Amino acid sequence: MRIFTTLTVCLFSLGKLTSQTKPVNLSPLSIEQIMQGEGFIGALPENIAWSEDSRTVFFSWNPDLDTLRSTYRIDVANASAKPEKLNLDELKTMTGRGSYNRDFTQKLYSKNGDLFLRNMPDKVPNHKQAAMNPTLPPLLQITNTTETESSPRFSGDETKIIYERFDNLYAWDIATGTTTQLTDFKRGADRSKERKKSPENQLLEIDQLNMFGILSERKADREAQNRQREALKPTRPKTIFYGEKRLSAMTESPDLHYITFNLTAEVPGEQTDVPSYVTESGKVENLKSRPKVGGAQDETTLGIWDRQRDTFYFVETKNLEGIRQKPLFLRDYFHQEVLPSGDTTSWEPLYKNPKTVNVLDPIFSADGKAVLVVLSHDNKDRWICLLDLDSGGLKQLDHQHDEAWIGGPGIGGWSGSSGNFGWVNNSTVWFQSEETGYSHLYTVNVITGEKQALTSGKFEILDVELSLDKRFFYLNSNKETPFEHHFYRLPIAGGNMEKLTSMPGNNDVTLSPDERWLAIRYSYSNKPWELFIQENKAGAKPIQVTHSTTAEFNKYPWREPELVWFKASDDVEVPARLYRPKAGLRNGAAVVFVHGAGYLQNVHSWWSSYYREFMFHNFLADNGFTVLDVDYRGSQGYGRDWRTAIYRHMGGKDLSDQVDAAHYLAEQEGISPERIGIYGGSYGGFITLMAMFTANGTFRSGAALRSVTDWAHYNHGYTSNILNTPLEDSIAYRLSSPIYHAEGFNQGDLVMLHGMVDTNVEFQDVVRLSQRLIELKKENWELAVFPLEDHGFVEPSSWTDEYRRIWELFWRTLR
């Protein structure tokens, strides 16, 4: 073995080393240049927010490439002017995000742990002017403490401000300034109650009191004083001791009659250690990382405190539809047995006990009804229910079951999210569901149970917002094409989706508080994100506010990748982006890029989150390579069946799509089948390994970056959705983990690259695979390690070194 070192990277190489001749670059771009990130491209606008009066847009920007970003503003009335940078005093007075009252005349927000109320009398309707409190200043600081007050919101009648402090709810009366504590939750057990005396001690005490009159008199006096003290006590909320669970999500009904709260039984997962070798202290330091898939998970219940009855109880879920249903994959592990009677055992589709679920916090209607989401721990069921606040019972409004896993835009499921849902009025709830195979918008009447689909078709609703007057929904959708995102307006009862944005690409809209304006963060496939402002009406012209890209970036004529579809071996059409070299430069070689995350879209008409790879693909095309970037099965943006096609077999359809991409390149683009490479990071690195180990020489070489090598070593939330758990579904884990297929690495060259302080896909993954390759006596592989990099690289020097190695691999093996 030979070892190569630089200041930022160590390269370990095993087996035959081929020629290390330095590549000849034909591109005007350089690897070092395109790996500088913002330093080369420019700092793009982010974190868009509106002023309360809808006259000004604030955003994070750094056009001069200073050390830190700054906050800028642009006035709608003068949107074509140069944006202004806020100074320190102006930043201190910014309100930030918050909640409004129903008339949009007051705004609540928290800042630096304190609460503020902004009054906007110019927005008060004339008929309500007399009801305004004339003593309230334009900006009122409600609290100024060293403790943290958070989550302010208006009570149902808007006379009080409800907020959280030290895991309890408080109400501040706007008219009087009086603060009332609404809850008294305390961790631990109630230790104030006297321990019950044993029969022997009780007998002894009775004997003492009967024998000594003074002791009896003193006890009677003490008890009388206690009764008087209790009678004179002010009214306080009932103390609720909740043990050692974690308290969260305290929510009050509009009339403050009920308080709901989540209690989570936390399971102490066994965290893993990630050693950091290059540290300020000069000593090896251990970073704590997440537990591995398969361990016991936290369980969340919902409690209800009835303030009027002074009692609390918990939501009951045992009668929900399908809550005892076993997942079908367990049938693969069922073994029929012959009983002594001669009968044989049969598959039992139901559990004896209900599945473990998490009950999430409710949303209240104006008249006090509550709806909530219940998620099963195996993430194969989601229930939307009406909550009976008096009893804790549930009325099921919608049940979504998926033998793979619950997911999709606006659906929730991932990380215990409720997804998008809310009240249209006091009888109707809106929500998103993949019932048809695509995420769409629905309503359900909580009284009758009648459900209505408001959108339908082979496209997805990506996000939903209800208008202030509740006459419309505002939607983000890929209705026209999966490759573009636009902003739409939909009547509350359904009907025509009115398209409000017009620029081809991605239109990421932040609606102004008065809903008259759109702040659009827009990009195209070869044009990075910029900020535009547009009136909220179809056909209105967007005005560009920012010009962020550098002169150096603008010099290069960036390609617009061609959007293509190719037919997979199972006759499914697969989308891809194609980068072609100029006719005279074509060298007959190609590279297939595999995006990361799995559930992510990279074939589209907007500026990619993989922008370094986009620029690298232009660099490769300048050097004669054709590049194909595939949205394989499992990617985002194409509906439920595409999303779940990798269930129980990662490295199945997602990998065969890469193999079919190589065939497409050979058959349609004139690429030599022996001169195709593959690369990608994270999930893309995993697919690269599976390709090199199992795809029978389809790819001449591969570069696997920060790769998962054994899914049993990844996290629970992501992995258990797709592969279940290692104990329950060992078949899926063995099928899907490259380390079990390493024996198949017999052709081609492989470079693996990994950050040593990666707390997502841990460095241990690639070390274990390296040892496996060593014991299998495999040749023609190399490992490059980056001592100071986590999963997402930060340093331009590391990015440069990494992509230089990838470039050299492809130049050496494919040209």
Gyration radius of the chain's alpha carbons: 31
pLDDT at residue 552 in the model: 97
Q: Which helix (H) or strand (E) holds 683?
A: helix 683-694
DSSP code for 237 = P
Please report the sign of the dihedral spanned by the C-alpha atoms of residue 181, residue 186, residue 192, residue 193. positive
What b/e readout covers 408-442, taking b as 16+ CB neighbours within 10 angstroms? bbbbbbbebebbbbebbeeebbbbbbbeeebbbbb
Q: Which residues of the chain have pLDDT under 50?
A: 1-19, 124-132
What is d(CA 715, CA 341) in angstroms, rounded to the nearest whole number? 45
Extract the tokens encoding 734. 């063995």
In degrees and rounded to multiples of 5, residue 744 shows phi and psi of: -80, 0
Q: How far is CA 339 from CA 335, 351, 352, in A?
A: 12, 21, 20
What is d(CA 262, CA 360) in angstroms, rounded to the nearest whole number? 7
Cβ–Cβ < 8 Å for 87, 100: no
What is d(CA 458, CA 121) in angstroms, rounded to the nearest whole number? 46
Q: How far is CA 250 from CA 92, 259, 361, in A?
A: 29, 7, 8
Extract the tokens encoding 599. 């559930």
Extract the tokens encoding 89. 């005093």
pLDDT at residue 508 in the model: 98
What is d(CA 801, CA 811) in angstroms, rounded to the nearest whole number? 15
What is d(CA 665, CA 729) in angstroms, rounded to the nearest whole number? 36
pLDDT at residue 10 in the model: 46
Cβ–Cβ < 8 Å for 228, 339: no
Cβ–Cβ < 8 Å for 478, 501: no
What is d(CA 91, CA 95) in angstroms, rounded to the nearest whole number? 9
Q: What are the tens digits of pLDDT across the range 291-302?
A: 999 988 999 999
Looking at 639-692, which runs of residues are DSSP E strands?
Answer: 676-681
Q: How far is CA 491 from CA 153, 421, 455, 510, 520, in A?
A: 28, 17, 11, 19, 22
What is d(CA 169, CA 163) in angstroms, rounded to the nearest whole number? 6
What is d(CA 550, CA 554) in angstroms, rounded to the nearest whole number? 6
Give the predicted TM-score (pTM) of the model: 0.92
Q: What are the tens digits of pLDDT across the range 143-183?
A: 999 999 999 999 999 999 999 999 999 999 999 999 999 99
Please classify residue 270 by burial: count the beta carbons closer than 10 Å to its beta carbon, then call 0-12 exposed, 13-18 middle and 19+ buried. exposed
pLDDT at residue 135 in the model: 57
Q: How many CA atoms lie within 13 A of 591 on its CB side?
A: 32
**344 CA to centre of own chain:** 46
